[in-house]
Chain A
């Protein structure tokens, strides 16, 4: 009897504890959403002046803000594609072949993962400045590819470890050449790992602040636009856009959860 009572108490405490943690995680989100409905028009947009939906329409007139979000999307899509191709090829090559300097390449892969982002940011800035590369869209994409590739490789590599290479051999024995085998056999078998890696690369790119902050030149991404506006107060249309992005993201999660990356989803999300 006593034991059941005790278990009940433990359970109640753990439920309360979890609720507090979830509140901690979601309070800022609630603030963002609430402020997107705030009718205030004067900086720093902190006092509540009543409910309005205006910001969701005004948002579409703020070309600077939309432009920065457009940049973010372009950079995320291009660097995800590049990182996915380079990373997938690299993971397959490193898994299959022996070559000089493999250990060094492998060690270098961990650097962008463990080193503080600010160090990579200033290192890239220094390199671009020294090499005379004008900072902007191009340098942003290069920087994003550099920190996304390791994550793609780790995801694909996880998939490769349970990989049966006899199917590839069979394909070659049946007369398919190396290239055909790669696209028809290897890639399809690795798809869950590649998709997981690409999704991770995309989310890392879209949310990146620190590295972008150093290599952007005059180009503004959405996070950098937020950073700029923080000094004078974040206007409610930025909140409105954030809320819309969040909704889109949740829809994406629901969508992917219902079986696009079926079965392998957990592996992917634990890496995020």
Chain B
């Protein structure tokens, strides 16, 4: 791990990887979208609106995955004082918040025709909303200090605290939901999903994963270059 602490090596490695990842993301998302929009059948109940799923579900997966990546990077940064890990965590946060936001908006757009409402206080929706606020808190804390290293340390501690709390919040929200609404109005289809609908979904998810990798590397490179520029300009 310490081998990758060298920013120069990271810059070389990411420069080599970046085009490949970008191509992979673009191809996978193109194939996935084609499969989703033209090959996958419309749902017998939901009609064409089911195709929102191909954006909604992958972004929901990414929303939690990015938080995990951010928390692991933060833990690495705190334990080994790994300089790149701080940058990785801070670069991942806005991307994760973006995926969470896409997940919330696409879910809302999907909910309107299906359940007849933009928002339901369902356990899942509520946990994702809380996750969004955890992301916002992380970003706000990282940028709240004049001294940048202080901000990234504080934010790293917050990310680790958040990861301990997330399961508790998730559990309590589930509990709260079953308490307040006895009848669950909606259920997502069921666990079984047709292969013709599954493969575009998985391809889209893979595409989103590569998209995250691309965005993360781009943001990390920008952060490193900006730090270098600041050092050149102000000599700090």
Q: Say whether A and B bind each other.
A: no
